Structure 1
């Protein structure tokens, strides 16, 4: 019978009146399914917000049908995963999300509610005195130029790092980021599609070495031979750099005897490998 109930609760055609009582069922698996259902009375969601199982509360927290009052309750939940699920809810009010910003884990993808924010909401959030809130906005890749450029000069390194890969930033902005924050933003600057070859060269020579930056440089279309040679000093970047067409032929030929088979494969597939070296690979 449990399996039948489980299947029925997952069926969107099952009437709300038949689903609601299962919010108090002994089975956590059944309550879990109810927590994900849209269109239930607010009283049902309020009962589930007090469920003893964190997973039930977490799924409830991500349910776009849940009202503000329940989301407020879940935003103060003792379980961190529940709070993070509230932040991922596309319907979470921005003032609730702002309160949660400091507890969010790092990530490159903007939260659904941030991605859907209106221009006025985006501007207001971008001016927040809290770096964690500005960081949430800085992850967007469709920011107006004035907000993007303001984030480029933000005093908080995490905000700068979040916006550093944003298309459209000038060479001056990118160089200034590195000058102020160094290795903390180096990898993100190296990943910017508009970063110049000269700046990639500077990044490659950064001291102390920024390993994550080398890995980004190794796959950047604008990287030149000098920067790629430095990338070969990093085990992971080396595998990518070996496949970059800007690597000089003599170096590519030497990489065919590398101890790392992934480096050898990348070099063998490199279109810049000399013809004679290619011919030698084929019996």
Structure 2
């Protein structure tokens, strides 16, 4: 697909080809400044796209005003940092994104997932990709097409289904995942603010402790469900209630008399030790902090761990 993968250059390293004989002349720093200059003419950007330095080519690849004929060869560049810059470029064509979403380098593929220029054809490739993380990043797209969400509902990976359960806004997807037999998937639903009161009530009676504990920590519940959970058989669930910012004062007061001293102490100490914190998690969009991605995008923590 992309030749020379094993000979990728590190963009932070030295430029073996700097000096004379370049397409634009001058030092690497001078050519890099030219590539970053908004006033640089389009034809000069086209020349810089074939520069010997990966630093220069990456700068061109990141420009949203770069001509299409300059980005096309950069999507096939032997340096993966250059290809990743194209994958993040919101002006990249669908054709380039379709190529890059199948790239041999995972960071290039994951960068495509965070590009708002993706259309349904690119997302369809993602839904069927062998890369579990790529499918997981797709699962976190809240406005995912119903037909693609339906594919992910049956994904072989519980992790992908969990991420879909946590982030989907589709009521049909939520209903389907309520029947999932994997605990971590139902735990994802227990964190989804789009669940109905009836679904939360069902989750409050879930057989898995982790599901009930996640529910009381993340979502507001009806009074009847809270009263039932005060007497939950699991101290872990009751402790999660005692420390949750969403629990009403009268429920926490009841927990101060809990038979488990750690629960009772947590309920009594709540006002002195708690700190306000958001209870609904921000969805991840898979790209690294280095480079430029779409507004509001963050590095997927799971992806970051796999890089180390």
| TM-score using structure 2 length | 0.58
Label 1:105 to 1:149 Cα distance change in 2 as closer, same or farther (>3 A).
closer
Q: Aligned residues, how many?
A: 236
- Report the equivalent of 1:75: 101
1:211-235 Cα distance to aligned partner (Å, 9 max, x none) = 9x8289432243523447879849x
Q: Which consecutive residues of structure 1, in runs of 5 or more, have no partner in the other structure?
A: 245-251, 253-262, 267-283
- Report the equivalent of 1:98: 127
Q: Write the mapping of 1:58-73 to structure 2, written as runs, cut at 5 A.
A: 58-73=84-99
Aligned-residue CA RMSD (Å) = 4.1
- C-alpha separation between the residues in 2 aligned to 1:203 and 1:84? 43
Contact 1:35 1:60 (8 Å CA) reproduced: yes
Contact 1:126 1:134 (8 Å CA) reproduced: no
Contact 2:220 2:246 (8 Å CA) reproduced: no
Label 1:4 to 1:137 Cα distance change in 2 as closer, same or farther (>3 A).
same
More displaced, 70-79 or 193-202? Answer: 193-202
Label 1:52 to 1:21 Cα distance change in 2 as closer, same or farther (>3 A).
same
- C-alpha separation between the residues in 2 aligned to 1:29 and 1:37? 13
Residue 202 of structure 1: SS of its match in structure 2? helix
- Report the equivalent of 1:152: 178
Label 1:146 to 1:78 Cα distance change in 2 as closer, same or farther (>3 A).
closer
- Report the equivalent of 1:125: 148
- Report the equivalent of 2:286: none
1:112-160 Cα distance to aligned partner (Å, 9 max, x none) = xx3455xxx2x2233223366765654446x254444443334454443
Picking from 44, 66, 75, the partner of 1:49 is 75
More displaced, 92-101 or 198-207? Answer: 198-207
Contact 1:153 1:177 (8 Å CA) reproduced: no
Contact 1:186 1:203 (8 Å CA) reproduced: no
- C-alpha separation between the residues in 1 aligned to 2:67 and 2:212? 50
1:71-118 Cα distance to aligned partner (Å, 9 max, x none) = 2322222322222111111122221231347224978x975xx3455x
Contact 1:197 1:224 (8 Å CA) reproduced: no
1:4 Cα deviation from its structure 2 partner: 3.8
- Report the equivalent of 2:111: 85
Q: Which consecutive residues of structure 2, in runs of 5 or more, have no partner in the other structure?
A: 1-26, 276-308
Higher relative contact order (CA 8 A, sep 6+): 2
Which one has the bigger helix percentage? 1
Label 1:83 to 1:168 Cα distance change in 2 as closer, same or farther (>3 A).
closer
- Is 1:15 aligned to residue 41 of structure 2? yes
- Report the equivalent of 2:236: 209
Contact 2:84 2:111 (8 Å CA) reproduced: yes
Contact 1:204 1:214 (8 Å CA) reproduced: no
Label 1:16 to 1:186 Cα distance change in 2 as closer, same or farther (>3 A).
farther
- Report the equivalent of 2:252: 224
- Report the equivalent of 2:28: 2
1:14 Cα deviation from its structure 2 partner: 2.5
- C-alpha separation between the residues in 1 aligned to 2:123 and 2:71? 20
